[in-house]
Amino acid sequence: MAENIASNAIQLRRVAIVAGEESGDILGAGLIEALQAQFPDCIFEGIGGPRMLARGFVSHYPLERLAVMGLVEPLKRLPELLRIRRELRERYSQYPPDIFIGIDAPDFNLALEDALHQEGVTTAHYVSPSVWAWRQSRVKRIARAVDLMLTLFPFEAKFYTEHNVNVAFVGHPLADKFPLDDEKYLARDRLGLDPDAQYVAILPGSRAAEVEKLGKDFIQAAQLCWQQNPQLKFLLPAVNETRYQQLQLMLQHVKELPITLSLQNSHDVMAASDVVLMASGTTTLEALLLKKPMVIAYRLATLTYWILKRMVKSKFIGLPNLLADKALVPELIQHQATPEAMSQHVLAFLQDESKVDALKQEYIDIHQALKKNASEEAAKAILQCIAGKGFASKDSADKPIAGNS
């Protein structure tokens, strides 16, 4: 439960939240629940998904209207996105909420936060964009746009502190959800796997382009591992039916390799494995929290890689290494991401038990640092921010709001 911050003074009446995708809906629902524990009569409105709606949230637009990815799709939808943002700005400028909270979706939310902040609305942003890694000049706009930045990771909070942005590190909701212990044998039992075999999980990504660039090399790396250790077995989860079919085509000409292709069970597959070979991405955090040794590989289009190489300031791309601020696990990027290199690193983990034990202890330390009851911490930080800023006028809370549109 959120700490009772100046409960006699704060009467939270109306909170506006805009979540841009499913992950934001999860964070938003947890935050609403934590705030409702103290302010059961508070109205929560803006843009949210089914989890937020289940908490009584009023969504003025469907969340999926903001959940656009890639380069072309946002351009096609730009007029609609600009219209939604303009209408939200007008709504919350005319009837200011006690606080406006943008959850992720920085391209949409930061501009809205900036505009509302100039109108005197208290603003917060939940989930930092990767400003610490590239385009660091964006921190100036963030400092102008928000009264509070809520970060999931401690290295992000350090960056904002160094740039004089009011910040609160609240921990990561996944760290609250995942157990501290390795649940390998429980996962194997759920999947009907041999409890005594050695398994390698292969996760070449969730997007078609990622699987196209990495899938065949990941499978070839598995073949090289199997040639060295014929007792190994391999697990290949697909995030959806389309990726399943894409991977199935790649496996058509693979003979003898003991590999199981499955659908939508990546969590259990990783939990059941001894080592994970995976594409870089947020799934690496899940692998860390599951206490799995991992080899991270990634490959971009050549031009994109050379542009980003000159822009990105971070030493690492994998979350385990970023969180530890050292090379806990191998990162094989671009030309380094060969089947031979991948297989060598996978086999190294399988052959060195003491190395794996030391790595798992590092993981436990990181897990404990991230396990902070994120929703309650975020609610507490938001209430402290409001207490320090004052509140929207009482009249604004009395204005009627429209239902879902």
Q: Which fold has domain 14-171+372-397?
A: Rossmann fold (3.40.50)
List, for residues 11-40, the tens digit of each pLDDT value.
899 999 999 888 899 999 999 999 999 999
Residue 4 has pLDDT above 60, yes or no: no
pLDDT value of position 76:
66
pLDDT band, residue 397 (cuts 50/70/90): very low
pLDDT cut 90: percent of the chain above it: 73
How many beta carbons lie within 10 A of that of residue 85, not counting itself? 17
- What is residue 402's predicted lDDT score, i.e. its pLDDT? 47
Identify whether the C-beta of residue 149 lies closer than 8 Å to the C-beta of residue 142: yes
Q: Is the pLDDT of residue 6 over 70?
A: no
Distance CA 84, CA 67 (A): 13
What's the pLDDT tens digit per position in 314-357?
788 889 999 999 999 999 998 899 999 999 999 999 999 999 99
Q: With 50 as the cut, is the pLDDT of residue 42 above it?
A: yes
DSSP 3-state assignment of 148?
strand
Lowest mean pLDDT among 91-95, 116-120, 290-294, 395-399: 395-399
Confidence of residue 396 (pLDDT cuts 50, 70, 90): very low
Structural domain boundaries in the chain? 14-171+372-397, 177-370
310 pLDDT band, cuts 50/70/90, is: low
Would you say residue 399 has pLDDT above 80? Answer: no
pLDDT band at 368 (very low <50, low <70, confident <90, very high): very high
**Residue 307 burial (CB count, 10 A):** 12
Q: What is the pLDDT of residues 202-216, one digit of tens each?
A: 999 888 888 998 999
- Give the pLDDT of residue 404: 44
Q: Are 283 and 205 in contact (CB under 8 A)?
A: no
Q: Given this model, what pLDDT does residue 267 score?
A: 95
310 or 387, which is more confident:
387
DSSP assignments along 76-89, one per residue = HTHHHHHHHHHHHH
Q: How confident is the model at residue 43 (pLDDT cuts 50, 70, 90)?
A: very high
Closest by alpha carbon to 340, among 202, 251, 212, 228? Answer: 228
pLDDT band at 303, cuts 50/70/90? low
pLDDT at 307: 59
Model confidence, pTM:
0.84
User: Right CATH number for 177-370 from 3.30.2290.10, 3.90.25.10, 3.40.50.2000, 3.20.20.70?
Assistant: 3.40.50.2000
Burial pattern 372-384, b for ≥16 Cβ within 10 A else e, equals: bbbbbbbbbbbbb
Section 180-199 average pLDDT: 96
CB proximity list for 333: less than 8 A, separation 6 or greater? 280, 297, 298, 299, 317
The arithmetic mean of pLDDT across residues 189-205, rounded, is 96
Residue 348 is predicted with a pLDDT of: 97
Highest mean pLDDT among 57-71, 74-88, 183-197: 183-197
400 pLDDT more than 60: no
